[in-house]
Structure 1
Amino acid sequence: MEVDDGAELCFPQLLNASCRKPTLPWSEAVFLSSISLLTVALNLLVIISVSHFRQLHTPTNILLLSLAVSDFLVGLLLMPGDFLRKTVCWFLSDLMCSLYIYVSYIIPFASIGDMVLISVDRYVAICDPLHYNTRITEKRVKLCVCLCWFCSVFYSSFFVKDDLTQPGRYNSCYGECVVVVDPIAEAVNLVMTFIVPVSIIIVLYMRVFVVAVSQARAMRSHITAVTLQCSVTLTAKKSELKAARTLGVLVVVFLICLFPYYGVTLAGGSLINISSVNFVIYLCYFNSCLNPVIYAMFYPWFRKSVKLIVTLQILQAGSCEAKI
């Protein structure tokens, strides 16, 4: 690094020991900032809605709450951290860099785990509805969510243990925060966080789709010859089918946003330019912003709760008992 380039260095006084200041196009900087703020705001609405209104304390919504928390953290921590690494020099400590890398593993792992749990929830609801209320209870779902996050924290520690014990060991100069993953560890990660969970999700939803189609046909063929009791049962089935469709959209969008990232991983970094890598990362980030939009499109309860939150009616006494 040349001395006369001191103006472009993170720490000009360190000369050759300093990194060059990173440059990010203005359009990308604006995009990241906007998506980060939007992601935090929208997912915060989901978190407040499900947490505040008692009527929304259902097993399925608890899973959506966990997903919203991970999406919220993406907007609050991962996007700003990535923005910081690509627009200015890393002025935080090496330990903070290692912790950021650690969190950047934990949150996506938890999101994938939430998607698997959502698929299991819909599978039981559609394929074994008679036992749904006994097998999928609020207490069990909370336990599964806690285990999901615990496993994410524990599993992620294997990838960053060297960074945490020796922060900054992979930095080539002052002012950078780099992520270095062993090829073997990356292969294991590909199997454990992509191939296995995605296979489970696809198999479960294929089964859900087949059963849902058969149930929908059965309801249409018998709709004119039902008693009042059967009518209530059919209404319940319609509700479960609608929930399966909505969550199916959620899962499909998640997979669409996820596939390019792992496609780049399979292709190998040496075969992909930096613009493509940034694009697939931004696509994963954008998924965290899309999830609340999907809720707003398909869930009337979310639109109603947002209205109550924005108008500050949730501050009134007994608002948690409101019918959503």
Structure 2
Amino acid sequence: MGGPTGESELCFPHLNSSCRKNSRAPAVSMLIYVILSSMSLLTMVMNLMIIISISHFKKLYSPTNSLLLSLAVSDFIVGFLMVFQIILIDGCWFLGDIMCGVYFVLDHIFTAASIGTMVLISVDRYVAVCYPLHYPIKVTQYRIQVCVFLCWIISVFFHCMLLKNNIQQPGLYNTCMGECVVVIYFFGGIAAVVCSFIAPVTVIVVLYVRIFVVAVSQAHAMRSQVKGAIGQGLVQRVAAKKSEMKAAKALGVVVLVFLMCVCPYFCVTLESGDAVVSASAAAFVMCLFYVNSFLNPLIYAFFYPWFRNCMKCIDVFTYNCGYHHLYNKC
């Protein structure tokens, strides 16, 4: 028999069929753990703040904020699921085959719900900018709730069917003890890429380009109207230019961040013959995929003035509650 492998390199040292750990320097492993743990915590905290703000303050009940609430819920759970990805950083899974399947199913469902909600947000903004007079009639709270419900139901059904074999036979594709692997066959992988990446990206880009064009044309129209009425053409020109740049910046942030976060994962999926997604082998692209849920609150909520006002109210409320608690305790 050959010499045994170093026990420190095995997930389960007492088993010959154990998987090997990924070899990294201790400093590198610690840095990765700290970064991912911080990202997971911040993702949950920021999205939880959005959930509390929209749910608690009745003035924030609106169709657009309902979409932000759905996005925050899905991203909050994705932030929680990052904990399991942290477990897989060393290439070892200690929670069993059933939990491996559950983790991947939930991960696919909630990331798909997040992407689907982003598409709904782009549609909402398209109607608001391009058809402002019809917006209150076309976009109602009831219709938004129905769209959000359908988005979640479709995400659950599609990914349960996509990962049906992995759910029915957990650990079927594992090659060693401590491995967590999900296999999506060729046609299923193509369907997942089309529905979760190509179609949403196409819709988002087309709608935001349209929004940008309309915003620029409105800025030009406003500038031409006020140029003759007010003798401050230069000031109006600067204001219009700022409006155009603001629209361009918003478009660039939304589209580029989304593409940067999700493109690597789906490119890896497309390059493989059968879409074999091993979390231990594709840790980087998976973590980059999760970054989208970390940045969504910054893109979609932190740019809203009402969110900063709600944070101030929550801080004051927390401070007052803490003060009264200490006072009563004394």
Name the TM tier (shorter chain).
Answer: 0.7 to 0.9
AA aligned opposite 1:142: Q
Structure 1 residues 294, 143: closer, same or farther in 2, change over 3 A?
same
Q: Secondary structure in 2 aligned to 1:219?
A: helix
2:113 to 82, 105, 110: 110
2:32 to 28, 34, 56: 28
The answer for unaligned runs of 5 or more in structure 2 is 231-242, 322-330
Within 5 A, what are the aligned runs for 1:138-287?
Answer: 138-223=141-226, 246=250, 249-268=253-272, 277-287=282-292
| Cα distance in 2 for residues equivalent to 1:73 and 1:243 | 30
Q: Secondary structure in 2 aligned to 1:176?
A: coil
Asked whether the 8 Å contact 2:122–2:204 carries over to 1, the reply is yes
Q: Match for residue 84 of structure 1?
A: 87
Greater mean deviation of Cα atoms: 57-66 or 217-226 = 217-226
1:311 to 305, 310, 316: 316
Residue deviations 1:301-322 (CA, integer Å, cap 9, x gap): 1111112223325998xxxxxx
1:97 aligns with 2:107: no
Aligned residue pairs total 299
| Cα distance in 2 for residues equivalent to 1:126 and 1:8 | 57
CA drift of 1:247 comes to: 7.3
CA drift of 1:296 comes to: 5.9
Q: Match for residue 134 of structure 2?
A: 131
Greater mean deviation of Cα atoms: 304-313 or 243-252 = 243-252
AA aligned opposite 1:17: S
Asked whether the 8 Å contact 1:23–1:86 carries over to 2, the reply is no
Structure 1 residues 261, 8: closer, same or farther in 2, change over 3 A?
closer
Q: Secondary structure in 2 aligned to 1:98?
A: helix
2:293 to 288, 291, 297: 288
Asked whether the 8 Å contact 1:122–1:244 carries over to 2, the reply is no
Greater mean deviation of Cα atoms: 1-10 or 38-47 = 1-10
Structure 1 residues 209, 283: closer, same or farther in 2, change over 3 A?
same
Tell me the TM-score normalised to structure 2 length: 0.81
AA aligned opposite 1:63: L
Greater mean deviation of Cα atoms: 135-144 or 277-286 = 277-286
AA aligned opposite 1:249: V
| Cα distance in 2 for residues equivalent to 1:87 and 1:250 | 32
| Cα distance in 2 for residues equivalent to 1:243 and 1:111 | 23
| Cα distance in 2 for residues equivalent to 1:301 and 1:199 | 30
AA aligned opposite 2:307: F
Tell me the TM-score normalised to structure 1 length: 0.82
CA drift of 1:71 comes to: 1.3
1:19 aligns with 2:22: no
AA aligned opposite 1:302: F
CA drift of 1:245 comes to: 7.0
CA drift of 1:105 comes to: 0.9
CA drift of 1:62 comes to: 1.0
| Cα distance in 2 for residues equivalent to 1:278 and 1:90 | 13
| Cα distance in 2 for residues equivalent to 1:5 and 1:49 | 52
Residue deviations 1:22-73 (CA, integer Å, cap 9, x gap): 4553222221111111111111111111111111111111111111111111
Asked whether the 8 Å contact 2:258–2:292 carries over to 1, the reply is yes
CA drift of 1:125 comes to: 0.8
AA aligned opposite 1:204: L
The answer for unaligned runs of 5 or more in structure 1 is 227-238, 317-324
| Percent of matched pairs sharing the same residue | 53
Q: Secondary structure in 1 aligned to 2:6?
A: helix
Structure 1 residues 2, 193: closer, same or farther in 2, change over 3 A?
farther
CA drift of 1:275 comes to: 10
Structure 1 residues 137, 23: closer, same or farther in 2, change over 3 A?
farther
Structure 1 residues 288, 2: closer, same or farther in 2, change over 3 A?
farther
Q: Match for residue 319 of structure 1?
A: none
Residue deviations 1:169-222 (CA, integer Å, cap 9, x gap): 111122221122212211121112111221111111222111111112222333
Q: Match for residue 67 of structure 2?
A: 63
| Cα distance in 2 for residues equivalent to 1:189 and 1:104 | 13
Q: Secondary structure in 2 aligned to 1:16?
A: coil
| Cα distance in 1 for residues equivalent to 2:135 and 2:213 | 18
Q: Match for residue 40 of structure 1?
A: 44
